[in-house]
């Protein structure tokens, strides 16, 4: 291979790394900005009466996101990988569910929905049905049925 081809390949690889890191930084900054604006971590700390540990929640989100990205990129072979994946999926689902409920609470989605739909009873069943529907939809999507 000539020097020009090697140099071009190195410049191309460096540009891909730069674009990838920039896009990842922009996406993660947007996610963290959304989490901050919604106030999901202080809200969880308030509900669990652990407000003095908010920084621990914040560091857990940061380190969990970083660890997830590293595991995704490096794909190490880990013992008990299936159990770890199931636990990670459970925690990710809990986090996303909490994020969605915090967003819905901030936007007052449920009061508006209940008022417009003239719903007075069966609200817990409606919320449970939404959750079960989302769970079944995710199961069907990921199980390739």
12 pLDDT tier (thresholds 50, 70, 90): very high
Instruction: Classify the C-alpha dihedral 97-100-103-107 as positive or negative.
Output: negative
pTM of the shown model: 0.52
What tens digit of pLDDT does each residue of 72-131 get? Answer: 778 888 788 888 888 888 888 887 887 777 777 666 766 777 777 777 777 778 778 888
Given a cut of 80, whether residue 59 has pLDDT beyond it is yes
Question: Burial, 13: exposed, middle or buried (Cβ in 10 Å; 0-12, 13-18, 19+)?
Answer: exposed
Given a cut of 60, whether residue 145 has pLDDT beyond it is no
> Token pair 């000539």 is at which residue?
2
Domain ranges, ordered by start, for the chain = 79-144
d(CA 67, CA 37): 24
**Calculated CA dihedral for residues 73, 24, 140, 134, nearest 10 degrees:** 140
């Amino acid at each position: 291979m000539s020097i020009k081809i090697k140099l071009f390949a190195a410049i191309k690889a460096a540009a891909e790394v730069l674009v990838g890191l920039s896009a990842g930084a922009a996406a993660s900054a947007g996610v963290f900005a959304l989490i901050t604006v919604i106030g999901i971590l202080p809200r969880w700390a308030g509900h669990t009466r652990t407000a003095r540990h908010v920084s621990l929640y914040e560091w857990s989100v940061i380190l969990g996101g970083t660890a997830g990205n590293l595991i995704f990129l490096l794909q190490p072979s880990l013992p008990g990988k299936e159990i770890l994946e199931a636990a990670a999926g459970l925690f990710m689902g809990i986090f996303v569910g909490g994020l969605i409920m915090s967003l819905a609470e901030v936007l007052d989605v449920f009061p508006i929905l209940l008022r417009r739909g003239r719903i007075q009873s069966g609200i817990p069943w409606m919320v449970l049905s939404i959750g079960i529907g989302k769970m079944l939809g995710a199961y069907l999507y990921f199980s390739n049925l």
